[in-house]
Structure 1
């Protein structure tokens, strides 16, 4: 397997030179603007009018965030598998950076999720809520003050990102973290950060999310409708680097999972240092004997050799290959060990936007199939945490592409 997970994974953030047009999320001021989602158990419900809903809102800190109560559109409380029951096929779509830069991709995938009853995880980069005029507030470990290997957003795009993040949470999605400056190379790389430096990076990311009102001076936007310190239970590091020194900090902070491992396989997960380890996975790559990691950029790196603007004549074939790769990974698990599938993405139009088309087509194909659950990482670990350890150990005994001998009923009898 060609694994583009370290030096080759350069693009896990949004560029500064984004389109000038702002394509926004929902209407401002609609504290109940999320439309009904399914529970991750199949097709979603039709859109419903935004009827007024009275909510108890407790502003937090400077009013950048607020406690608005239980998050809407969550699945039923998870329960343990019954003896002999077939496990669900979990698929988790996640987004690194999660900023809206005028290309309309954030609202596009919010709409897609509504249409198909999907929940997702948005790994928000903290710097996307910090105006560039205030970049001196950012003190990145081993890097100059205000430095960042991803661009700061324009004020217009920062406002749109706030709207989209607010809408995503009301729609039932999870807001995680992609940290801040996205340093992948050189002495300042996150690969070299100590636990104390990771702690500083996390605290700064949280501060940018929870103090955007102070840092922008804006008072005409609604707060983000969640307590971010409670909402934040996991993240993905830039370029999948630095997990070993992040994990002790994640455990101390009470995080429940980390999605930063530099490559895994389609098997049931284990914990590292008390934290669920949920890595990108190797999946079949049509036309090749090796596998590719389950992320848009890793497919790109194998198709156009790290160039985000390949020959347009190649786009149709590459789009089909990317779609088939996602679906091959899905089908392999679905028909055998039912291991969860983690798919990582970026709101980017690399190679003409073909990876956005591929992931949309893959999601549409997966949605609605029997036993399929399109969930966030938070919802998935909620399910894991109520399962009996013996059952999880039994599931982990199945290798990639290995079906349970004699069917699920016979397989679990020995457990």
Structure 2
């Protein structure tokens, strides 16, 4: 395992100003596949129990597929107040092709980041560099108010909460600047920008209690913040972002994984193609929910495989420390190895089995000395370099899923994660 870089060591001493306040996953939203143990969600299923596969959402709805961009005239088109622009189709995206008869699917791995604030720790930059080094693309779920100065907080009217309020901190002016810089560079490098919405409200009056219309309000305000950052910040010295948010954002992840049912209903009217807000599922091939691809966090073998842990840093944190972000330093190496082992066990189960995509969701945080960041680094270095592995964004995975034969996807969903079939019987 590589040691953290000098930048990462420095970052551990520089706690970012606009801290993310993680929420707890709700038991009600997870009862189908999970139980609550000491505040931490784990799946009850063991490795040798076959999942119940779903044949719903099989890609028959062609309207949700990626549409071909019109030929670009080569001219940059500045949009709105100059906050965004259209600089042509994004370069370097995965070319989605249908599987040939008998062909084994690629092993897709998606790394996604909730919030996507570029703070003093420079983790946004670090994972852009990791993606470049290991030929990977990632999904950065931007929180809208991370481009809104605290002095303009009253521009935000969150559903069921007072105007100008949020469950997370508004960013510093400097962090708005660095976040804008990182977003632009990340998109140029082929990464996806999605949404983590705005105020990060969870529990009572959070996303789980919001109506379809309230979710639409939250989405509209997200677009308003990201498309008008120049007006709101006064940063006229900065270039526009090189992409059109309305075109590029095709999915997101709800705070605390709450409210997916009404969120998906709202998201459909924006032409979105997937949602990553499901509170957890087995490692089986994705299906659609109400017309959108459902890309959930997943249960990975943990603690020797006796339980299945959700594939997100906060869930490992809670299991290991009860929520303490600065736990016993003497135990941190053990916790880091536990996290690595779970990620790698989940990867190996499907890489040598069903080839179902692996989804890993994290935050730009240095919890417990940065061990969860170190664990993700280890996975990137050891997984994205393997044969047949494609580390992609959620958007790229949606592209690929959309061009597969519906009957092929139906057969893929019948596979147990660890089941390596005769691919001639699955891909016909």
TM-score (norm 2): 0.83
1:123/1:175 contact within 8 Å kept: yes
Could you say which residue in structure 1 is the equivalent of 2:258? Answer: 241
Distance 1:59 1:323, change over 3 A: same
Shift in Å, 1:78: 1.2
Shift in Å, 1:411: 3.8
Could you say which residue in structure 2 is the equivalent of 1:403? Answer: 420
Does 2:100 correspond to 1:82?
A: yes
CA distance in 2, matches of 1:271, 1:288: 28
Shift in Å, 1:286: 2.9
2:99/2:404 contact within 8 Å kept: yes
Could you say which residue in structure 2 is the equivalent of 1:69? Answer: 88
CA distance in 2, matches of 1:170, 1:133: 30
Could you say which residue in structure 2 is the equivalent of 1:141? Answer: 159
Equivalent of residue 315 in structure 2, options 298, 319, 328: 298
Query: Could you report, residue by residue, the CA deviation over 1:33-71 in whole angstroms, capped at 9, with x for unpaired residues?
Result: xxxxxxxxxxxxxxxxxxxxx952100100100000011
Could you say which residue in structure 1 is the equivalent of 2:269? Answer: 252
1:5/1:263 contact within 8 Å kept: no
CA distance in 1, matches of 2:231, 2:74: 24
CA distance in 1, matches of 2:77, 2:345: 46
Equivalent of residue 318 in structure 1, options 335, 344, 347: 335
Runs of 4+ in structure 1 deviating by more than 2 angstroms, as ranges, are 4-10, 409-412
CA distance in 2, matches of 1:153, 1:55: 35
2:198/2:222 contact within 8 Å kept: yes
Q: How does 1:116-127 map to 2 (within 5 A)?
A: 116-127=134-145
Shift in Å, 1:9: 8.3
Query: Aligned residue pairs: how many?
Result: 364
Equivalent of residue 159 in structure 1, options 173, 177, 182: 177
1:141/1:201 contact within 8 Å kept: yes
CA distance in 2, matches of 1:380, 1:267: 14
CA distance in 2, matches of 1:399, 1:321: 24
CA distance in 2, matches of 1:180, 1:307: 25
2:355/2:417 contact within 8 Å kept: no
Shift in Å, 1:185: 2.4
Does 2:25 correspond to 1:5?
A: yes
Q: How does 1:97-136 map to 2 (within 5 A)?
A: 97-136=115-154
CA distance in 2, matches of 1:268, 1:5: 23
CA distance in 1, matches of 2:340, 2:159: 38
Structure 1 residue matching 2:345: 3-state secondary structure: helix
CA RMSD in angstroms comes to: 1.6
CA distance in 2, matches of 1:6, 1:238: 11
1:9/1:297 contact within 8 Å kept: no
CA distance in 2, matches of 1:70, 1:283: 36
TM-score (norm 1): 0.85
Shift in Å, 1:338: 0.4
Query: Could you report, residue by residue, the CA deviation over 1:364-408 in whole angstroms, capped at 9, with x for unpaired residues?
Result: 11012111000000000000000010111110111232221xx21
Structure 2 stretches of 5 or more lacking a match?
1-23, 28-38, 42-72
